[in-house]
């Protein structure tokens, strides 16, 4: 069934080749001049996902693919395909190298932007990249910020948020709390080598958020930009848990004893240094965990559940779904 020359099902003019635009032959008169618009090359919406191999980016890709969105995965390395998603095309994007900006965004209409942890100077990296993306006609930008970034000028995300607001256009800010995925990342070796959690968080409660849920929120914001335009969402998990409770959760999931040893600031610094972390990262990680003692990440925010229409994933679900990550390494 066609409607004025437009195939209802495919939204392609029946005379056009789906692989490329074939316009009316020269000299032919189109009986429907309003079809001019329809004959223009169809722009396939394609989202560029930065940090594609990271905790959040890979979940953004998963959620976008599930919604049928075409994705381009950005990487600063020289691989040609994102190893997690061999079907997804990749583009080289090094946020420290402006020469990579324009080719990476070309042909994309939406952007998921994250700040790699090693990049502190966002004014010379992420902000010019945003400008390049806007200049290339990128529509909605979803930025992975951090809880409290609006009030905290020290975190690098603050300047990116301010730049997006000043630059205008469609954007959505995601401000998550502590990731559940830190247990499979920053805390992973402590769990698999020592069967312990070792952070200077005292008895502080944390509402760990699962990056799988963040991926789904990002996909929502990218695919329904008019609903989320200019919004800033603080995103947490559904339950506040202490690291004592987290140890109990992992003990149950891994079927072996796991303990929490509250670290002192000095002890934690020495521990991270022995693991080879640079001083800058040690300072940031220590500061963040000491903040937990004062309840900085203890509040459950309603945004995630309200956006997804369901409760966020719990830490116990995260642990159960990823047990292989903490197989004993001895
Ligand atoms: N961990 C938490 O609890 C937490 C909570 C709230 C907010 N955050 C924020 O979330 C962000 C981290 O997200 P994540 O955990 O998903 O990241 P991640 O797993 O640490 O991955 C970092 C990503 O950055 C990419 N990357 C590294 N250098 C790059 C460069 N020069 N140019 C372009 N890309 C580069 C890496 O990919 P390639 O190597 O392929 O380039 C990788 O995909 C940070 O901004 C952090 O502050 C974290």
Per-residue model confidence (pLDDT) at position 163: 98
Give yes or no: residues 104 and 182 share one domain. Answer: no
Give yes or no: residues 105 and 183 share one domain. Answer: no
Residue at 1 is within a domain:
no
Q: Which amino acid residue places its CA nearest to atom 21 of ligand 1?
A: 54
Per-residue model confidence (pLDDT) at position 8: 27
Mutate to test the pocket of ligand 1, among 76, 155, 285 (most ligand atoms within 8 A of CB): 76
Give yes or no: residues 255 and 123 share one domain. Answer: no
Give yes or no: residues 268 and 290 share one domain. Answer: yes
Quote the DSSP letter at residue 206: B
Residue at 185 is within a domain:
yes
Domain boundary among 126, 159, 176: 176
Q: β-pairing, 232-235 with 196-199?
A: unpaired
Q: Which amino acid residue places its CA nearest to atom 25 of ligand 1?
A: 51
Domain boundary among 176, 200, 225: 176
Mutate to test the pocket of ligand 1, among 58, 103, 114, 285 (most ligand atoms within 8 A of CB): 114
Per-residue model confidence (pLDDT) at position 44: 57
231 token code pair: 């919004």
Give yes or no: residues 99 and 197 share one domain. Answer: no
Q: What is the DSSP string of 36-65?
A: HHHHSPPPPPEEEESSTTSTTHHHHHHHHH
Per-residue model confidence (pLDDT) at position 253: 98
Q: What's the rounded Cα separation, in Å, for the pair 171 and 232? A: 9
330 token code pair: 């001895």
Residue at 159 is within a domain:
yes
Q: Which residue has the tokens 């309603």?
A: 302
Give yes or no: residues 90 and 197 share one domain. Answer: no
Give yes or no: residues 98 and 193 share one domain. Answer: no
Give yes or no: residues 154 and 184 share one domain. Answer: no
Scanning 205-311, the segments in alpha helix (DSSP H) are: 211-223, 225-228, 243-254, 265-274, 279-293, 303-308
Q: How do the pLDDT tens digits run along the chain, 330 residues long?
A: 222 222 322 222 221 223 332 223 333 344 444 444 444 444 457 999 999 999 999 999 999 999 999 999 999 987 665 567 888 999 999 999 999 999 999 999 999 999 999 999 999 999 999 999 999 999 999 999 999 999 999 999 999 999 999 999 999 999 999 999 999 999 999 999 999 999 999 999 999 999 999 999 999 999 999 999 999 999 999 999 999 999 999 999 999 999 999 999 999 999 999 999 999 889 989 999 999 999 999 999 999 999 999 999 999 999 999 999 999 865
Per-residue model confidence (pLDDT) at position 122: 97
Residue at 24 is within a domain:
no
- State the distance from the centre of ligand 1 to the C-alpha of 7, rounded, in angstroms: 43
Residue at 2 is within a domain:
no
Give yes or no: residues 201 and 111 share one domain. Answer: no
Per-residue model confidence (pLDDT) at position 283: 93
Give yes or no: residues 291 and 316 share one domain. Answer: yes
Give yes or no: residues 182 and 330 share one domain. Answer: yes
Residue at 23 is within a domain:
no
- State the distance from the centre of ligand 1 to the C-alpha of 295, rounded, in angstroms: 25
Domain boundary among 160, 176, 192: 176
Is this model's pTM higher than 0.95 or not? Answer: no
Give me the domain span that covers residue 50.
42-176
Q: In CATH, what number is assigned to the domain containing residue 191? A: 3.90.25.10
Mutate to test the pocket of ligand 1, among 48, 50, 52, 54 (most ligand atoms within 8 A of CB): 54
For the chain, what is the domain count?
2
Give yes or no: residues 283 and 154 share one domain. Answer: no
Residue at 116 is within a domain:
yes
Q: In CATH, what number is assigned to the domain containing residue 147? A: 3.40.50.720
């Amino acid at each position: 069934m066609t409607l004025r020359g437009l195939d209802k099902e495919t939204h392609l003019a029946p005379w056009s080749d789906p692989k490329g635009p074939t316009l009316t032959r020269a000299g032919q008169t189109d009986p429907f001049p309003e079809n001019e618009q329809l004959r223009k090359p169809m722009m396939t919406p394609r989202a560029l996902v930065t940090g594609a191999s990271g905790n959040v980016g890979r979940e953004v890709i998963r959620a976008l693919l599930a919604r049928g969105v075409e994705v381009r995965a950005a990487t600063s390395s020289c691989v040609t395909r994102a190893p997690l998603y061999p079907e997804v095309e990749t583009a080289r994007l090094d946020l420290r190298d402006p020469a990579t900006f324009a080719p990476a965004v070309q042909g994309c209409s939406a952007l998921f932007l994250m700040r790699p942890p090693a990049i502190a100077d966002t004014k010379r990296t992420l902000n010019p990249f945003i400008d390049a993306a806007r200049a290339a006609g990128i529509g909605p930008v979803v930025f992975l910020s951090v809880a409290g970034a609006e009030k905290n000028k020290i975190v690098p995300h603050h300047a990116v948020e301010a730049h997006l607001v000043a630059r205008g256009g469609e954007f959505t800010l995601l401000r998550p709390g502590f990731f559940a995925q830190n247990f499979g990342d920053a805390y992973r070796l402590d769990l698999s080598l020592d069967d312990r959690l070792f952070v200077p968080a005292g008895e502080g409660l944390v509402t760990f958020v699962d990056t799988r849920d963040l991926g789904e929120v990002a996909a929502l914001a990218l695919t329904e930009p008019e609903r989320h335009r200019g919004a800033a969402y603080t995103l947490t998990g559904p339950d506040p848990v202490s690291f004592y409770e987290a140890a109990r959760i992992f003990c149950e999931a891994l079927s072996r004893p796991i303990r929490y040893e509250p670290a002192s600031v000095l002890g934690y610094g020495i521990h991270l240094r022995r693991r080879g972390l640079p001083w800058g990262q040690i300072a940031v990680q220590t500061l963040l965990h000491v903040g937990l003692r004062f309840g900085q990440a203890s509040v459950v925010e309603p945004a995630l559940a309200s956006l997804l229409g369901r409760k966020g994933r719990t830490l116990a679900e995260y642990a159960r779904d990823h047990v292989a990550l903490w197989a004993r390494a001895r």
